């Protein structure tokens, strides 16, 4: 992502034991901030810890923007699922969630629009 979206200010988050559940990456673009948890799809499942589910749920209840970015190595696609769906994602799998699917080659500008939740981005 960093290479394909260079205008985004990316911050990899290594919280360790200090803040369990915080997503892997924080991004900011054109004043829009978002958080991303990076996952790999196994069948229809994604492994999320209870702490990750709680973090995304709490953040979404106060209007925060967070995502689960799921790579499917079999189909070479990326699924983007809103953080407010983590309970369903963890319990029922990806097919139970509303998601945006990006096929290879990835349309990085369209992905950025989704991450920022806006159509009014500055190039």
pLDDT of residue 119: 47
Q: Is residue 109 part of a domain?
A: yes
Is position 33 within any domain? yes
**Residue 104 covered by a domain:** yes
In a domain, 123, yes or no: no
Q: pLDDT tens across 79-117, in order?
A: 999 999 999 999 999 999 999 999 999 999 999 999 997
Enter the tokens of residue 50.
Answer: 């209870």
Q: Which two tokens stand for residue 40?
A: 């790999």
pTM, two decimal places: 0.90
Check which CATH number belongs to the domain holding 24 and give it.
3.40.1350.10
Q: What is the number of structural domains in the chain?
A: 1
- Asked whether the bond before 87 is cis by omega within 30 degrees of 0, the reply is no
Does 118 score more than 70 pLDDT?
no
Instruction: Output the CA–CA distances (angstroms, integers) from residue 52 to 5, 39, 58, 79, 111, in the order listed.
Output: 25, 12, 10, 18, 22
Q: Could you tell me the residue range of the domain that residue 18 belongs to?
A: 9-116
Residues 12-35 have pLDDT tens digits of 998 666 678 999 999 999 999 999
Q: Is 8 helix (H, G, I), strand (E, B) or coil?
A: coil
| Residue 2 belongs to a domain | no
């Amino acid at each position: 992502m960093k290479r394909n979206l260079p205008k985004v200010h990316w911050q990899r988050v290594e919280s360790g034991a200090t803040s369990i559940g915080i997503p892997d990456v924080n991004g900011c673009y054109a004043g829009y901030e978002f958080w991303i948890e990076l996952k790999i799809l196994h069948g229809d499942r994604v492994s999320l810890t209870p702490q990750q589910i709680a973090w995304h749920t709490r953040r979404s209840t106060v209007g925060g923007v967070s995502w689960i970015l799921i790579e499917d190595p079999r189909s070479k696609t990326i699924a983007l699922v809103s953080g407010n769906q983590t309970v369903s994602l963890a319990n029922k799998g990806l097919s139970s969630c509303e998601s945006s699917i990006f096929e290879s080659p990835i349309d990085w500008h369209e992905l950025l629009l989704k991450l920022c939740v806006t159509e009014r981005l500055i190039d």
